[in-house]
Amino acid sequence: MSRGPRGVGRLNALPPHDAERELLSCCGSRTWARAVADGRPYPDAAALKAACDAAFTRLTWEDVEEALSRHPRIGDRPAGADRESAWSRGEQSGVAGADREVTRRLHEGNLEYEKRFGHVFLICATGLDAGRMLEALTERLGNDTATERRIVREELAKIARLRLDKLLEHP
Q: Which residues are catalytic?
A: 71
Non-local (6+) Cβ contacts of 93 within 8 A are none
Q: How many CB atoms lie within 10 A of CB 27?
A: 28
CA 89 to each of CA 2, 45, 79, 95, 101: distance values in angstroms, whole numbers, following the listed order: 31, 25, 8, 9, 20
CA angle 130, 135, 138 (to 5 degrees): 125
The dihedrals phi and psi of 97, each to the nearest 5 degrees, come to -100, 15
Distance CA(92)–CA(124), nearest Å, equals 9
Q: How far apart are the first and last CA of the chain?
A: 18
